[in-house]
Amino acid sequence: MFGTTRDDLRATLDEIASAGLLKPERVITSPQNATVGVAGREVLNFCANNYLGLADNPEVIEAAKQALDTWGFGMASVRFICGTQEVHKELESRLSDFLGMEDTVLYSSCFDANGGVFETLLDAQDAVISDALNHASIIDGIRLSKARRYRYANRDMAELEARLKEAADARRKLIVTDGVFSMDGYVAPLREICDLADQYGAMVMVDDSHAVGFVGPTGRGTPELHGVTERIDIITGTLGKALGGASGGYVAARKEICELLRQRSRPYLFSNSLAPVIAAATLRILDLLETSSEARERLRDNTRRFRTQMTEAGFDVLPGDHPIAPVMIGDAAEAAAMAERLLDQGIYVIGFSYPVVPHGQARIRVQLSAAHTPADVDRAVAAFITARH
């Protein structure tokens, strides 16, 4: 029976390959760091979400080793059966304090966190208004709910207001946005969003996965950056980027929202608990973030250095000051080919194309890290200049 299906799937895969959209997986033969082993050699890594360089931090690794001895490897259970340890509750409390929220619920990933919010809080009487460039996990989470769905153009406040007016008769209205849009490095205008939310009686939800740990004066994310923390109702985020790079996610929110999530959120109720080793290591990471700004400052310096030099060299880098620095190429096949040329020069980057980004907007998304040295950044810029000609 599979024969015809196999042919159809093979034809689809061939179409993806011929369009230059195939996404191969390269095997890394070393720990995640600024330099990694790929294809038998060491290359500079400019495509990981290892913003603060903590993925192989010795103190984090030591905390993880100690946690294995103390708490074991895994929980083999969901939270409400026998999957809650002291380390889980401690991390939830620490994240709440760090983010300035009333409570926090841990999930196995931020994808699950976003997947568990909307159908728990919203039904057919309600409306959700979503930025057009929100992460796929938000889009999928909204699909699971019965709420009326509205979309506004990326960071377009006039269009957001129009959608709020259209949803005026909804029982509950929830505006949802990425704090930082992962393909562009653009930051959401949270103060303006909160102003509109106040005007039209809406709640505000922010997925801050690409900000928590390093955006804002003390690394508490885009709500801190814009001075609106107390006006945000829900923050979702990941432990898999700046906060160590392993896995895990969370919803930090108003107390009553978190209490309902613990009772009704399906990814929380039916997924195994976050591994205790990750919870314990994240606690150590929060210690590091709260006692030193060195990594954040290094990341900002590297970001400024790369963006300035690439712009001076004539590359089309989307504007901003976020360590996501998209170098726009346009053509998908050329973006993939340029990434290969850069790898030949020892620079590991990835070309992004449809469906991750719109047709005709292929790019190489460079991601800066605190683990990079100034010499690493200079070498990457020189490689781009060579690969262009």
In 3D space, the residue among 187, 190, 193 whose CA is nearest the CA of residue 211 turns out to be 187
Residue of 226, 241, 322, 372 marked catalytic: 241
Active site annotation includes 322: no
Distance of CA 241 to the CA centre of its chain: 7
The DSSP bridge partners found for residue 148 are: 127
Residue of 96, 137, 182, 265 marked catalytic: 182
Pairing state between β 127-131 and 173-178: parallel
Determine the Cα–Cα distance for residues 27 and 57; give it in Å rounded to an integer: 21
Active site annotation includes 65: no
Strands (DSSP E) found in the chain = 35-38, 41-45, 103-107, 127-131, 148-152, 173-178, 180-181, 186-187, 203-207, 234-238, 249-253, 324-330, 347-348, 351-352, 362-367
Start-to-end Cα distance in the chain: 50
Which helix (H) or strand (E) element contains residue 192?
helix 190-200
Task: Enter the tokens of residue 172.
Answer: 């509950």
Contact 285, 244 (CB under 8 A): yes
Residue of 88, 135, 210, 226 marked catalytic: 210
Active site annotation includes 210: yes
The amino acid sitting at 252 is A
- In three state form, how does the secondary structure of 245-310 look? CCCCEEEEECHHHHHHHHHHCHHHHCCCCCCHHHHHHHHHHHHHHHHCCHHHHHHHHHHHHHHHHH
The DSSP bridge partners found for residue 206 are: 177, 235
> Residue 289: CB partners within 8 Å, gap ≥ 6?
52, 98, 213, 218, 219
Contact 145, 118 (CB under 8 A): yes
Identify whether 355 is preceded by a cis peptide bond (ω within 30 of 0).
yes
Active centre residues (catalytic): 182, 210, 241
